Amino acid sequence: MAKVLSANLGYPRIGEKREWKKALEQFWAAKISKDEFLETIRGLRLSYLRKQKEIGVDLIPVGDFSLYDHVLDTAVLFGLIPERFDKGEKEISLETYFSIARGNKDAEASEMTKWFDTNYHYIVPEISNETKPRITENRLLTLFNEAKQELGITAKPVIVGPVTLLKLSKGYDRNHFQTLLDSLIPLYIQVLSELKNAGAEWVQIDEPILAKTLPSEDVAVFQDVYQAIKEGVPDLKLLLQTYFEAVDDYEEVIKLPVDGLGLDFVYGKKANLEAIKAFAFPQDKVLAAGVIDGRNIWKNNLAATFAELETLLAAVGGRDKLWVTPSSSLLHVPVTVASEKELDPVLKNALSFADQKLSEAVTLAKGLNEGKDSIEVQLEKNRVDLDALQQSAHRNNKEVQKELNHLGSDLPTRPGSYKLRQQIQEDAFHLPLLPTTTIGSFPQTQEVRQARRNLRRGEWTKEQYDQFIRNETAKWINIQEDIGIDVLVHGEFERNDMVEYFGEKLAGFAFTRFGWVQSYGSRCVKPPLIFGDVAWTAPLTVEESAYAQSLTRKPVKGMLTGPVTIYNWSFVRNDISQADVFNQIALALRKEIHALEEADIRMIQVDEPALREGLPLKEEKKANYLHRAVYAFRLATSFVNNDTQIHTHMCYSEFDEIIEAIDALDTDVISIEAARSHGEIISTFEDFKYKKGIGLGVYDIHSPRIPSVDEMKSYAERALQVLDPKIFWINPDCGLKTRRPEEAIPALKNMVEAAQEVRAELGDKVGR
């Protein structure tokens, strides 16, 4: 009998307790052999497949698992190896694979940037016009056979599609796109043919680029690509998977020669439903309905979703034409709620991580197949759990709601213009030309992490821990002064994470113990849960900042994470608007900034590294998001005195489309990544004349390599071709938390020396 199937699009790689991360880092540190590493990884990979089978998922993916990044995997599969790493290997070694991602002593890592509008970051493939794609190893075939032979699973292989792969790549002339695409298509056909011969029935080809606003000529490309692929493997069923938003060109996409289409009915729900209503859904295709939120951690409203699925079932024309899936890969959520033993039951009962989301998909498919009565118990428990959280005091803070209601619509403004503030601050701080600073954090050594564990386990008292933090702070204040840095930071040794630390001290947040997700490579983060009304209850950072400032005559920056980044790097409640949550956080930070000013901290950095990461994929939604972001930032910062210098920091280089919003933040100094992207951001300032303080990072902190003085000078000198030296600062790309002291200190010394040399070369040309 035909039935609705449950399907998964991708499973978290990291393991319930981050076993994947630990194996990677042990291998990189040469603590385990290659064979031990690969055997550990194989065991993890099989355990993930086994768990999905036990949950009851009908279609289980392979190829979603990665040793670092799935985009890198696809690039390597097709031999898209940057020239500086290409050793002519037939099959790419682990050494080469990890060098592309992390760099090595001889070469810089490939660029890393965000995966659409998520908090995951992928390795950007580098392709030249001369690149000749080739198949290095059909890893999908290996993984498919492994699942079949070891667990009896006929899996659904997953691969990034050719159009998305090329659109996300860099280094080639855009007029060379079609040539590269033509060379890739036969290789995709070969990979897919080998999978078909091995027994694969469905292959999921991810083309999330379709969720962006595309020119008409790009949409036309898809018809040619998938016509060629379908003709090359006519007997293999192809699922064209989209996610993160609705498909703009629905009428054209449903005509593509594929056997199924995956659509996002969470983040693209309204537009995708309207498209199906207006243009129907083809009766010869399967609809993979992404109705389970793959990017947030709340239980699905099962009753409402079941009703939506009934509508979709009628539209597709039969149970065998509908799959119930997450809206995207579950890479973006933690593994399981089952590991969380300490959460408030009202909150815990409303949570759904990867395993629970798959169970929700299985439950909904069962209800569609066997009737709603067959899942009535689950529906009722779901309703009770969600209602309990909604009615709790956490979501009904009258004082916070009163503050929100009193906000006006006009942008908050500083008391003085930037020009006035600049003069006042120059007189107050007496900084040299091209002042040097860092972004905030210093190495979180094993000793720092052990101290935090000692406190958490009760092995240290709070007093012992606080003294340790003061000692580390004093040590690094001295190191900075010895190096010659002009504006210092306290090092953030007390902070486990730049968002979690603040959430722990604000009302409305909760924290999991094992709620980790992958950010990039082995870097995992444990996002806070913003589940209630956010409120400031006591100072968050004043004690540490004031102590550091007491140790030196140089200015020490107070360090805060901004409202938009706290939002974008958290799992956020979905019952109120984004603007309301932005502004709740901003109002709390406003009180903290006031407390820092009261403690005579005159430089305050409010970091917004994730501001661009939250930029919507659809052009028509971007302006409203940016307005909300600027409003929240200025709500937090605009009230300060003219002699208080507001800094901010942002990561990654694609700032062209938000440069006006960056300017509108009205900060006194902004620092932006430049070295990781090899200085590409600098071209933005050729077109936009930025007149406030700015530091374009002169070295990439994501790699262990120590850049030379000349290399850092080159970035500074290139930036000074388009920026006024009077506004230019010298700093690293990002914080130094992940670097070791023996990497950070020499690099900072080189940075200061580079600044001094450039300063000397400018000589009398510029007066401060």
pLDDT surpassing 60 at residue 503: yes
Q: What is the pLDDT of residue 686?
A: 78
Task: Give the pairing of strands 529-536 and 506-510.
Answer: antiparallel
Alpha helices (H) along 393-508: 398-405, 418-429, 446-456, 462-483, 500-503
Q: Give catalytic residues, as residue numbers.
A: 702
pLDDT surpassing 90 at residue 674: no
Give the number of other Cβ atoms within 10 Å of residue 509's Cβ.
Answer: 22
Domains in the chain, ordered, with CATH? 5-390 (3.20.20.210), 402-761 (3.20.20.210)
CA 44, CA 32: separation in Å to the nearest integer? 16
Q: What is the mean pLDDT of residues 601-610?
A: 95
For 46-96, how does the pLDDT look when each residue is reduced to its tens digit (9 = 90+)?
999 999 999 999 999 999 999 999 999 999 999 999 999 998 898 999 999
For 355-393, how does the pLDDT look when each residue is reduced to its tens digit (9 = 90+)?
999 999 999 999 999 999 999 999 999 999 999 999 999
Query: Binding site annotation covers 613?
Result: yes
The set of residues, in sequence order, having a beta carbon less than 8 Å from that of 541 and lying 6+ positions away, is 558, 559, 560, 592, 596
CA 121, CA 108: separation in Å to the nearest integer? 17
Contact 162, 208 (CB under 8 A): no
Q: What is the mean pLDDT of residues 142-147?
A: 98
Specify the pTM: 0.89
Q: What is the pLDDT of residue 403?
A: 96
Query: Binding site annotation covers 441?
Result: yes
Q: What is the pLDDT of residue 95?
A: 96
CA 139, CA 70: separation in Å to the nearest integer? 12
Query: Binding site annotation covers 114?
Result: yes
Three-state secondary structure call for residue 700: coil
Q: What is the mean pLDDT of residues 442-464?
A: 94
pLDDT surpassing 90 at residue 679: no
pLDDT surpassing 60 at residue 653: no
pLDDT surpassing 90 at residue 683: no
The set of residues, in sequence order, having a beta carbon less than 8 Å from that of 113 and lying 6+ positions away, is 121, 122, 124, 652, 653, 654, 677
Query: Binding site annotation covers 523?
Result: yes
DSSP letter assigned to residue 84: G
CA 569, CA 508: separation in Å to the nearest integer? 15
Query: Binding site annotation covers 173?
Result: no
Q: What is the mean pLDDT of residues 124-150?
A: 95
Work out the percent of the chain whose per-residue pLDDT is above 70: 98
Q: What is the pLDDT of residue 652?
A: 61
Give the residue with greater pLDDT, 722 vs 276: 276
Categorize the per-residue pLDDT at 657 as very low, low, confident or very high, splitting at 50, 70 and 90: confident
Query: Binding site annotation covers 649?
Result: yes
Q: What is the mean pLDDT of residues 545-568?
A: 97
Q: In what order do the strands lie in the sheet with 529-536?
A: 506-510, 529-536, 571-572
Query: Binding site annotation covers 673?
Result: yes
For 733-750, how does the pLDDT look when each residue is reduced to its tens digit (9 = 90+)?
889 998 999 999 999 999
Considering just the CA atoms, what is the radius of gyration of the chain in Å?
26
For 94-127, how does the pLDDT look when each residue is reduced to its tens digit (9 = 90+)?
999 999 999 998 899 999 988 999 989 999 999 9
Range with the poorest average pLDDT among 300-304, 308-312, 696-700 = 696-700
Q: What is the mean pLDDT of residues 172-195?
A: 95
The CA-atom distances, in angstroms, between 491 and each of 170, 285, 475, 495, 595 are: 35, 56, 10, 9, 20
Mean of per-residue pLDDT scores for the chain = 94
CA 109, CA 107: separation in Å to the nearest integer? 7
Q: What is the mean pLDDT of residues 412-436?
A: 96
Greatest mean pLDDT among 86-95, 428-437, 680-689 lies in 428-437
Query: Binding site annotation covers 734?
Result: yes
Query: Binding site annotation covers 492?
Result: yes
Q: What is the pLDDT of residue 663?
A: 93
Q: What is the pLDDT of residue 684?
A: 79
> Residue 681, exposed/middle/buried by CB under 10 A (0-12, 13-18, 19+)?
buried
Q: What is the pLDDT of residue 614?
A: 87
User: What burial letters (b/e) apply to 451-462, b meaning 16+ CB within 10 Å?
Assistant: bbeebeeeebee
Greatest mean pLDDT among 104-118, 427-441, 490-504, 645-659 lies in 427-441
Categorize the per-residue pLDDT at 654 as very low, low, confident or very high, splitting at 50, 70 and 90: low
Contact 295, 333 (CB under 8 A): yes
CA 733, CA 724: separation in Å to the nearest integer? 20
pLDDT surpassing 70 at residue 767: no
Query: Binding site annotation covers 460?
Result: no
Q: What is the pLDDT of residue 681?
A: 77
Categorize the per-residue pLDDT at 544 as very low, low, confident or very high, splitting at 50, 70 and 90: very high
